[in-house]
Amino acid sequence: MAVLRSEIERHNRLYYLDAAPEISDRDYDALYHELEELELAHPHLADPDSPTRRVGGEPLSEFRQVRHSVPMMSLSNTYDASELVDFDRRLRGLLEGRHPAYVVEPKVDGVAVSLRYENSSLSVCATRGDGRTGDDVTANIKTIRSVPLRLHGSPPQILEVRGEVFMPLNSFRKLNGERREAGLEPFANPRNAAAGSLKLLDPRTVAQRGLDAVFYALGATGGLVCATHMELLDRLREFGLRTVPGATRCDGMDEALARIGKLKSERSGFPFDTDGAVVKLDQRDWYEEAGATSKSPRWAVAYKYEPERAETRLNAITVQVGRTGVLTPVAELEPVTVAGSTVSRATLHNEDEIRRRDIRVGDRVYVEKAGEVIPAVVGVNTAARRGGEEVFTMPDACPACGAPVARREGETALRCENLQCPAQLKRWLCHFASRGAMDIEGLGEAVVEQIVDGKLAKDPAGLYSLDQVTLAGLDRMGEKSAANLVAAMDSSRQREFWRLLFALGIRHVGVRSARDLAGHFGSLDALMNADRSAVQAVPDIGPVVAESIVGFFAEPRNRELVRRLADAGLQTRTTHGSAGPGPLQGKTFVLTGTLSSFTRDEASSRIEALGGRTASSVSAKTSFVVAGNSAGSKLDKARKLGVPVLDEKAFLDLLSG
Ligand code: IVH
C-alpha cells in the first residue's frame, strides 16, 4: 500500500507539475483502484494522507476560523507603465543603489489561500479573509487533485505556502452550462465561480467543480531560506507544489515592462484567467529592507490589464429554450471584434440582469469577454440613447411551444414546464445522439429539427422506430444517407450502458457520474429502483445528483421511456467483458464456501456487473478470494500465495462501493 501511494503521488507530480505523464489515465485509474481495494480490505492500514482520501467526510455546518501565523497581505495595483517606473525608482531608493532584478508572473484571477504542511502532511488550509483570520477550507482544498496531500523531498517541518485557487476555463464553461440548465444563476466569471466553490460546505460538491491551484509565496517558512524568488519557485516545485506558469526573471524594469507586454498576448494560452501581471523583487534577502505598508509589501506590485471591451448595437433580444426548459435571453449584436474574435451574440443571463443593467433593445452596449472567453454585455452607453430604445420583458409563453412559463421556487430562471415542448425535445434528442452520449452519426440538428417538427418521435426511444423510408423522405436526406443513419442507429444499440445513462440527460449526471453509477449499480433496473441513500452511497455522488436521479425515475413517463429503450434493444446493463469502466475492471475473484446473502451465481453476477470476473481456481493472478462459511482448500491456497481474502462483510462493502 505504501508503494502504491508513493507511485500514485509520483504520477501526480509527473502529470500536474511536469505535464509529462508516464502512464495512461487508465493505468493510473487501475493503480488507484488497487489501492482503494487494499485499503478497503485492510482498514487498519489506512492513512489520512492517502491519495484516495481527497473527498471525505460529511458536509460542514460552518467554516472554522483560522488565524494566519503571518498576515496575508495584498498588493497595490497599477494600471499604467509610468506607475511601474515610479515603483522601480522608489524601490531602488529603498535599496540604496543596489540593482533590483524582478520576476514577472501572471496574476492569476482566483482566490488567495494559505496551506500549512506539518511534517510534510497537509494540515490546514485557509482563505485570506481579512488578512489576519480566514476560513478553514481544508476539506475543500484537499479535493484539488494537483495539490499534494504529502510534500515530496525534504521540506522543513513546518511550511506554509501561499497561492491562488482558480477555476480553469473549461471547468468554468461546463459549470455555467450546467447551472443554466438547472435554472440557477450562472457565475459572472471564473473568479466568482472559484470563490463560490471554495465556500461550499460539502466537499463532495467541491470535488466536482474542477478547481485547481498554483503557489507563489511563503507564509511561515519553517526556516526555509531562498536567496531569490526564482529559487523559491524551484524549491516549491521540488516539494511537489505547482507554481505559476510563465514566471520570468527580468534584469531591471525595462526588461520587466517588455515581459509584461509579451504576457499580455501569451495569457490567452493559459488555462486560467489572468487579470494582470505581478512584478516582484527577485532578491528575497532584500525584502526586509524594502519593507511594507500596513496593507502591502513595497517589493512587489500588481499591474492590471484593462479588460478588452468593445461598443456595438444591441439589435434584438431573443429567447432560447434549453434541454430542461430554462429560458435564456440572448443578445443579438451588430458584429464587433473583441479580444481578437468576432462577437455577434452574447449571453444576458436572465431578466433580472437585464433590468439591473437597464439594457434596452436598440442600445449601444459594451461587450466584454467575461472570463476572457464568453462574451457578455456589461453595460450601456446611455449617452448614445436616441429615445427609440425598447425595454425588454421575458415572454409569458414559451417561444417554442406557446405553453405558459413559470419560475420555480428558489430559482431565478423562467422555465417552460411543457414536457412535450418541441424546443426541449430537440435539445434532448441532440444530446442523446451526441458524440459523448450515444454517438449516432448523421443525427444532427437539422435532422432532429425535422423529426420533431414532423412529430416522428416524441422521445429518444421513438428514434429507434424510425425506418429508412421515413428518414429518406426528410429534406436533404437521400436514400444513401437514410440507410447510413439507420445503420448508425442500429450500431448505437450496442453502446455501453453508461453512455445510455448519460444520454438520458438526467440533470447533473455527466459522463463521470454516469460511469460511476453504471459501474456501481450494474443495470438500469437496479438504479431505477434505488432510493436516495443507495444512490448517494456511490463515491462522488452528492445529494443534489442523487435527488435528481431519484426524481427522474419517479416520473412514470421516464420509467416508460426506459422500458421502451430496453425493448428497442439498447444496453441497459453493464456487460461482462465489455471495455466498460466498472470499478472492478481487471479484477479476478474466486468464490469459496457458502455466503449467507447470495448464491454463488448471484455473487458472480454482481462482480460481473461491476466489471470484474470470476474464476474457479486460485492462482497468483487472483485479485481476491471471497471466503464464506466452511471455505476449504481454496482459502488455504490464497493464504499461501498472499492473495487478499475477503470475508462476506468485506465483500459486501466492496460491492456497495
Ligand atoms: S504575490 C504579499 N503573485 O493577487 C502578497 N499574488 O492583489 C504576495 N495573485 O493577494 C502576492 N497571482 O491573491 C502574487 N503570481 C502572483 C499572484 C498573486 C494572483 C493575487 C493574490 C494577491 C493579489 C494581490
pLDDT tens digits along 463-493: 999 999 999 999 888 899 999 999 999 999 9
For residue 606, the one-letter residue type is R
Would 580 be classed as within a structural domain?
A: no
Are 129 and 194 members of one domain? yes
Are 79 and 217 members of one domain? yes
Contacts of 299 (CB under 8 A, 6+ apart): 91, 280, 281, 286, 287, 290
Task: Give the domain extent around 440.
Answer: 422-492
The pLDDT of residue 218 is above 80: yes
CA distances from 390 to 360, 366, 377 (A): 5, 17, 16
Are 606 and 560 members of one domain? no
- 202 close to 543: Cβ distance less than 8 angstroms: yes
Position 577 scores a pLDDT of 43
Q: How many domains does the chain have?
A: 6
The answer to which of 104-113, 201-210, 415-424, 575-584 has the lowest mean pLDDT is: 575-584
Question: Coil, strand or helix: which one is 628?
Answer: coil
Position 376 scores a pLDDT of 84
The answer to which of 19-23, 266-270, 312-316, 323-327 has the lowest mean pLDDT is: 266-270
228, β-bridge pairs:
283
Name the closest-CA residue to atom 13, ligand 1: 112
Would 34 be classed as within a structural domain?
A: yes
Nine cell digits for residue 400? 417554442
Would 281 be classed as within a structural domain?
A: yes
The pLDDT of 609-629, averaged and rounded, is: 85
Would 57 be classed as within a structural domain?
A: no
Are 401 and 352 members of one domain? yes
Tell me the CA–centroid distance for residue 54 and ligand 1, in Å. 26
Q: What is the DSSP code string of 559-622? A: HHHHHHHHHTT---BPPTTSS---TTTT-EEEEESB-SS--HHHHHHHHHHTT-EEESS--TT-
Choose one of 304, 338, 354: the last residue of a domain. 304
Tell me the CA–centroid distance for residue 197 and ligand 1, in Å. 19
Shortest-distance atom of ligand 1 to CA 73? 2
Are 89 and 180 members of one domain? yes
Position 118 scores a pLDDT of 97
Position 294 scores a pLDDT of 81
The pLDDT of residue 9 is above 60: yes
Are 131 and 85 members of one domain? yes
CATH number for position 466: 1.10.150.20
The pLDDT of residue 333 is above 60: yes
Tell me phi and psi for residue 116, to 5 degrees. -105, 125
Position 578 scores a pLDDT of 42
Nine cell digits for residue 176? 455555467
Burial of 129 (0-12, 13-18, 19+ CB in 10 A): middle
Catalytic residue, from 107, 142, 587, 634: name it: 107
Q: Is the dihedral of CA 627, 631, 633, 636 positive or negative?
A: positive
Mutate to test the pocket of ligand 1, among 70, 164, 191 (most ligand atoms within 8 A of CB): 164
Would 579 be classed as within a structural domain?
A: no
Position 605 scores a pLDDT of 74
The pLDDT of residue 268 is above 90: no
- Higher pLDDT, residue 261 or 512: 261
Position 581 scores a pLDDT of 60
Tell me the CA–centroid distance for residue 244 and ligand 1, in Å. 11
Are 18 and 159 members of one domain? no
Tell me phi and psi for residue 366, to 5 degrees. -100, 130
Ligand 1-lining residues (CB < 6 angstroms)? 73-75, 105, 107-108, 112, 164, 216-217, 244, 278, 297, 300, 302
Mean pLDDT across the chain: 90
Are 151 and 86 members of one domain? yes
Tell me the CA–centroid distance for residue 417 and ligand 1, in Å. 46
Would 173 be classed as within a structural domain?
A: yes
Question: Coil, strand or helix: which one is 361?
Answer: strand
pLDDT tens digits along 557-600: 999 999 999 999 999 998 744 444 678 887 889 999 888 877 77
Q: Is 114 left (phi over 0), alpha (psi -120 to 50) or beta?
A: beta
CATH number for position 73: 3.30.470.30
pLDDT tens digits along 81-107: 999 999 999 999 999 989 999 999 999
Shortest-distance atom of ligand 1 to CA 105? 15
Tell me the CA–centroid distance for residue 268 and ligand 1, in Å. 19
- 489 close to 464: Cβ distance less than 8 angstroms: yes
Question: Coil, strand or helix: which one is 169?
Answer: helix
CATH number for position 26: 1.10.287.610
Name the closest-CA residue to atom 21, ligand 1: 112
The answer to which of 294-308, 348-362, 365-379, 427-441 has the lowest mean pLDDT is: 365-379
- Model's pTM, two decimal places? 0.66
Find the distance separating the first CA and the last CA of the chain, reported in whole Å. 19
Nine cell digits for residue 248? 520570468
CATH number for position 602: 3.40.50.10190
Q: Going along 1-120, which residue ranges are E strands?
A: 65-67, 77-78, 102-108, 111-118
Instruction: Return the percentage of the chain with pLDDT > 70, whole number.
Output: 98
Distance in angstroms (rounded) separating the CA atoms of residues 179 and 507: 10
Tell me the CA–centroid distance for residue 260 and ligand 1, in Å. 15
Would 148 be classed as within a structural domain?
A: yes
302, β-bridge pairs:
77, 278
Distance in angstroms (rounded) separating the CA atoms of residues 450 and 361: 32
Mutate to test the pocket of ligand 1, among 68, 278, 281, 295 (most ligand atoms within 8 A of CB): 278
Are 649 and 618 members of one domain? yes
The pLDDT of 244-249, averaged and rounded, is: 95
Under the banding of pLDDT at 50, 70 and 90, the label for residue 645 is very high
Q: What is the DSSP code string of 290-333? A: H-B-SSSBSSEEEEEPPPPEEEEEEEEEEEEE-TT-EEEEEEEE
Between vectors from CA 81 to CA 76 and to CA 83, what angle results, nearest 5°?
A: 45
Distance in angstroms (rounded) separating the CA atoms of residues 431 and 510: 12
Tell me the CA–centroid distance for residue 110 and ligand 1, in Å. 9
The closest alpha carbon to 548, from 501, 581, 583, 498, belongs to 501
The pLDDT of residue 378 is above 50: yes
Position 373 scores a pLDDT of 59
The pLDDT of residue 80 is above 70: yes
Distance in angstroms (rounded) separating the CA atoms of residues 122 and 149: 5
Tell me the CA–centroid distance for residue 75 and ligand 1, in Å. 7
Shortest-distance atom of ligand 1 to CA 77? 7
CATH number for position 394: 2.40.50.140
Are 217 and 100 members of one domain? yes
Would 56 be classed as within a structural domain?
A: no
Are 89 and 202 members of one domain? yes
Shortest-distance atom of ligand 1 to CA 107? 12
pLDDT tens digits along 56-75: 777 888 899 999 999 999 99
- Higher pLDDT, residue 422 or 352: 422
164, β-bridge pairs:
112, 214
Tell me the CA–centroid distance for residue 13 and ligand 1, in Å. 24
Are 290 and 322 members of one domain? no
Choose one of 339, 373, 407: the last residue of a domain. 407
Under the banding of pLDDT at 50, 70 and 90, the label for residue 401 is very high
Position 135 scores a pLDDT of 96
Name the closest-CA residue to atom 12, ligand 1: 107
> Is residue 107 annotated as part of the catalytic site, yes or no?
yes
Mutate to test the pocket of ligand 1, among 105, 107, 287 (most ligand atoms within 8 A of CB): 107
The pLDDT of residue 445 is above 50: yes
